[in-house]
Amino acid sequence: MSGYSISELVTKSDTHANIELFFTAKPGALYCFVPAYRPQVTIRNYTAPKGAVVSVLGSNKAVKWQQKGADCLVDLSALHPGDVPDGLITIKIKG
């Protein structure tokens, strides 16, 4: 065992660093795993491809995003309970 709990690492704390997002990629797509819902997700130091399409897996709702300097801001505020599965949210950026 590693001696730490992943559920503790994704929880904000004043006593230790926390993990805000997890990532993986396939050719042409970046997947961003968000441990819990929040109205806006900032992907720091990431420039989405021109014309990229952002979606949330498991939802058919449109997701808005914008590039702000070096960061990509994904707006999840239009999602409501039931629009996405409970727990982990997966953002797909395809472009």
Please write the tens of the pLDDT for every residue from 23-65: 999 999 999 999 888 899 999 999 999 999 999 998 988 899 9
Alpha helices in 1-95 (DSSP H): 6-9
Smallest CA-to-CA distance from 60 within 78, 72, 42, 35 is with: 78
Predicted model pTM: 0.84
